[in-house]
A and B are shown apart, each in its own frame.
Chain A
Amino acid sequence: MAAAIALLACAIAAAGCGLGSGDEVGEVELTVTRDFGTERIVATVRDEVTESDTVMRVLDRNAEISTRYGGGFVQSIEGVAGGRSAGRPHDWFFYVNGLWSPVGAADYTLSGGEAIWWDHRDWAESMRVPALVGSWPQPFADGYEGGRHPTSVACRAAGSVCEVVRERLRSVGAVLVNGSPAEAIRVLVGPWRRIRGDAVAARIEAGPRESGVFAAFERHRDGFALWGLDEGGDRARRFGPDAGLVAAMRQGSSPPVWLVTGASSAGVRAARGLLDDASLRDRYAVAAEHGEETALPVR
């Protein structure tokens, strides 16, 4: 009898059962902003999480929130509520390690090390933004959706430019691999004309509703010109020939794809300089020209 009880206890423990919230598994970072990351609602905090913690529980511990639909949908954070504002729909969206979650916040279990970003934004043009750059150095440092993933750099630019990109990725803990393994996060480095043939990157040409990137490349003479789009998807700012772009995309459940690109080779050089915390933090995508950075969408 005692042996059976001990066996049952072992089985329960192995299955992750137990009383209370469980053991601590590490820290997560929580960021809460509005309007595509332009304004912080809650100062970024680091919170110790346990094995039963979810994105919702971490948010509830660190902010005043209200929910709907049986606690599965965040209606307001610190009094900033979803709904219609100026005739346009606004709601709270969350990202873990820079990726749109396939499940709700109450069902997203954390394993420690994640960067959680809640943003209250207009979603009239693009409700689904599958990936963004603002949680840098995630997902390169710790992976996504509970697993670590290698990173492959697809170089379509000068070797020195790609080497800088690789060095930046290595410095934040990315595990670089050669080739394009199916599970690898891909980083496409090169001028737009050289990477637009990629099936994922090409979605930018279909607009933000398809790609989740508020940028567009327009044919210009023998090359391309980079446009920054506003939150309504309209062209808001035309950049010069030396403009670069860093953006993240994702197709379905495949690994994310980052673009380090530009209208020209000079633009790619401008973009490679954006791969740091100061330039990418809390941004959906970033354009740069002559040292001036512009968060996208343009506001």
Chain B
Amino acid sequence: MRSPFAYTPRPGVLQSASPGAAVAYLGALAAVAFFYSNPVVIAAVGAAAALAGALAGAGAAVRVAARMGLVLAALIVAVNGLVVGRGETVLARLGEWPVFGRVDVTAEALAAGAAIGLRAAVAMIAFGVYSACVDPDRVLRALRPLAGRSALTATLISRLVPVAAADAARLRDAARLRGPAAAPLGRAPLARRLLAGSLDRAVDVAATLELRGYGGRVPSRRERQRSRFDARLYVAAATVLAVAIAGKALGADGFSAYPSLEVELASPTVAVTALVVLSGLVPWRGGPRA
């Protein structure tokens, strides 16, 4: 079974663009999610990343990343609710706990946890779209002139994720083939087996990359072809960042969870939110696909 995060060549804008342009576009969205604390803007970044992923044909990656992100967000909400007792609105008093001390669950702590969790979920969606839409080989080729070893390491990691997912699927299939009477294969033994084989697999992947010529000469400028979508993505990235910075200066990032919840929804916030959501349409090709 192929991982939804594995890169799949498609004639989409993100897949066709040069890796620098795609990374700039998705990176700009992720950067806004980290620059801003206002959950309205962060949610807008999530919507834009999801829209971009869907338009690029990576809907499955968006769905899986969103599901994983929501689980992580729920965990963050629970932990923040138990660890942080600040905030005006006490929902429950859970008494004295070892290590934590006195535990008061407040609405503000849950909201603050939700804002942090939302950011994590949005970052996961953006990375999911990147992983599914940007060819890691081209990323490596683009980075090799700058930092060859780092590029190789990064590509190894990005390539190992789908390899590990495929290994996991194979191991699960093999376990099922033992028959219905066999004990089910738990996640821990599966993870142990994957971890044990990860070094071998890394060597395999590195050897494969080497055979494909990654250790060879640096491609010339002519060989590094530009796409007709590059300008669009670079302009979108620059616009999103510029509007985010201007919005921040104009107070669009008003959010405080403690001691009481305050979310800024004035016109700068609305403007930044609208533009960020619209930026999700950038990968739209505007017509029937080839």
Q: Which one, A65-73, A152-160, A172-180, A207-215, is touching chain B?
A: A65-73
Would you give the shortest CB distance from A212 to chain B, in whole angstroms? 28
Query: Using Cβ atoms and an 8 Å threshold, which residues of chain B touch A109?
Result: 102
B86 interface neighbour in A21, A22, A56, Cβ under 8 Å: A56
| CB interface residues, B 74-99, toward A, < 8 Å | 84-88, 90-96
Q: Is B108 an interface position by the 8 A CB rule?
A: yes
Query: Who on chain B is nearest to A61 by CB?
Result: B88
What 1/0 flags go to A33-74 for Cβ under 8 Å of B?
A: 000000000000000001110001101110001110011100
Query: Using Cβ atoms and an 8 Å threshold, which residues of chain A touch B257?
Result: 71
Query: Using Cβ atoms and an 8 Å threshold, which residues of chain A touch B88?
Result: 57, 60-61
Is B96 in contact with A15, judged by CB distance below 8 angstroms? yes
Q: Please report whether the interface of chain A is mostly helix, strand, loop or mixed according to DSSP.
A: mixed
- From known contacts A17-B95, A106-B259, A107-B85, infer whether A71 and B90 are also in contact, taking CB-CB under 8 Å: no
- From known contacts A71-B108, A109-B102, infer whether A65 and B259 are also in contact, taking CB-CB under 8 Å: yes
Would you give the shortest CB distance from A51 to chain B, in whole angstroms? 7
Chain A contact residues (Cβ within 8 angstroms of B): what range? Answer: 20 to 34
Is B93 in contact with A22, judged by CB distance below 8 angstroms? yes
- Determine the distance from Cα of A50 to Cα of B89 in the docked complex, in whole angstroms: 12
- Determine the distance from Cα of A21 to Cα of B106 in the docked complex, in whole angstroms: 9
Is A72 in contact with B95, judged by CB distance below 8 angstroms? no
What 1/0 flags go to A178-202 for Cβ under 8 Å of B?
A: 0000000000000000000000000
Query: Using Cβ atoms and an 8 Å threshold, which residues of chain A touch B95?
Result: 12, 15-17
What 1/0 flags go to B87-125 for Cβ under 8 Å of A?
A: 110111111100000101000100010000000000000
Query: Using Cβ atoms and an 8 Å threshold, which residues of chain A touch B93?
Result: 16-22, 51-52
Q: Is B260 an interface position by the 8 A CB rule?
A: yes
Residue from B84, B87, B93, B104 having most chain A Cβ neighbours under 10 A: B93
Query: Using Cβ atoms and an 8 Å threshold, which residues of chain B touch A18?
Result: 92-93
Would you give the shortest CB distance from B254 to chain A, in whole angstroms? 11
Query: Who on chain A is nearest to B109 by CB?
Result: A71
Would you give the shortest CB distance from B261 to chain A, in whole angstroms? 11
Query: Who on chain A is nearest to B96 by CB?
Result: A15
Is B90 in contact with A20, judged by CB distance below 8 angstroms? yes
Would you give the shortest CB distance from A299 to chain B, in whole angstroms? 31
Would you give the shortest CB distance from A66 to chain B, in whole angstroms? 7
Chain B contact residues (Cβ within 8 angstroms of A): what range? Answer: 20 to 34
- Determine the distance from Cα of A288 to Cα of B220 in the docked complex, in whole angstroms: 87
- Determine the distance from Cα of A70 to Cα of B80 in the docked complex, in whole angstroms: 11
- Determine the distance from Cα of A20 to Cα of B89 in the docked complex, in whole angstroms: 8
B96 interface neighbour in A16, A19, A21, Cβ under 8 Å: A16
- Determine the distance from Cα of A67 to Cα of B257 in the docked complex, in whole angstroms: 9
Is A70 in contact with B102, judged by CB distance below 8 angstroms? no
Q: Is B34 an interface position by the 8 A CB rule?
A: no
Is B92 in contact with A72, judged by CB distance below 8 angstroms? no
Q: Is B258 an interface position by the 8 A CB rule?
A: yes
A106 interface neighbour in B86, B91, B92, B112, Cβ under 8 Å: B86
Query: Using Cβ atoms and an 8 Å threshold, which residues of chain A touch B239?
Result: none
Q: Is B256 an interface position by the 8 A CB rule?
A: yes
Query: Using Cβ atoms and an 8 Å threshold, which residues of chain B touch A67?
Result: 256, 258-259
Query: Using Cβ atoms and an 8 Å threshold, which residues of chain B touch A21?
Result: 90, 93
A56 interface neighbour in B94, B112, B256, B259, Cβ under 8 Å: B259
- Determine the distance from Cα of A72 to Cα of B258 in the docked complex, in whole angstroms: 8
Residue from A59, A71, A106 having most chain B Cβ neighbours under 10 A: A71
Query: Using Cβ atoms and an 8 Å threshold, which residues of chain B touch A16?
Result: 93, 95-96
Is B84 in contact with A70, judged by CB distance below 8 angstroms? yes
Query: Using Cβ atoms and an 8 Å threshold, which residues of chain A touch B84?
Result: 70-71
Query: Who on chain A is nearest to B105 by CB?
Result: A19
What 1/0 flags go to A2-24 for Cβ under 8 Å of B?
A: 00000000001001111111100
Would you give the shortest CB distance from A21 to chain B, in whole angstroms? 4
- Determine the distance from Cα of A56 to Cα of B87 in the docked complex, in whole angstroms: 8
- Determine the distance from Cα of A16 to Cα of B94 in the docked complex, in whole angstroms: 7
Query: Using Cβ atoms and an 8 Å threshold, which residues of chain A touch B92?
Result: 17-20
Would you give the shortest CB distance from B94 to chain A, in whole angstroms? 5
- Determine the distance from Cα of A61 to Cα of B108 in the docked complex, in whole angstroms: 14
- Determine the distance from Cα of A52 to Cα of B112 in the docked complex, in whole angstroms: 19
- Determine the distance from Cα of A106 to Cα of B260 in the docked complex, in whole angstroms: 12
Would you give the shortest CB distance from A190 to chain B, in whole angstroms? 42
- Determine the distance from Cα of A15 to Cα of B96 in the docked complex, in whole angstroms: 7
Would you give the shortest CB distance from A169 to chain B, in whole angstroms? 33
Residue from B87, B94, B102, B259 having most chain A Cβ neighbours under 10 A: B259
- Determine the distance from Cα of A150 to Cα of B91 in the docked complex, in whole angstroms: 37
Would you give the shortest CB distance from B183 to chain A, in whole angstroms? 33
- Determine the distance from Cα of A65 to Cα of B87 in the docked complex, in whole angstroms: 12
| CB interface residues, A 89-121, toward B, < 8 Å | 106-107, 109
- Determine the distance from Cα of A106 to Cα of B90 in the docked complex, in whole angstroms: 13
Is A57 in contact with B259, judged by CB distance below 8 angstroms? yes
Query: Who on chain B is nearest to A73 by CB?
Result: B258
Interface, chain B (partner A; CB < 8 A): 84-88, 90-96, 102, 104, 108, 112, 256-260
A-B contact pairs, 17 of them (CB 8 A): A15-B96, A16-B96, A19-B92, A20-B91, A22-B90, A51-B93, A52-B90, A52-B104, A56-B86, A57-B259, A60-B260, A65-B259, A67-B258, A70-B258, A71-B86, A71-B108, A71-B256
Q: What are the 7 A-B residue pairs with the smallest beta carbon separation, nearest first?
A: A71-B258, A15-B95, A60-B259, A71-B86, A21-B90, A17-B95, A52-B90
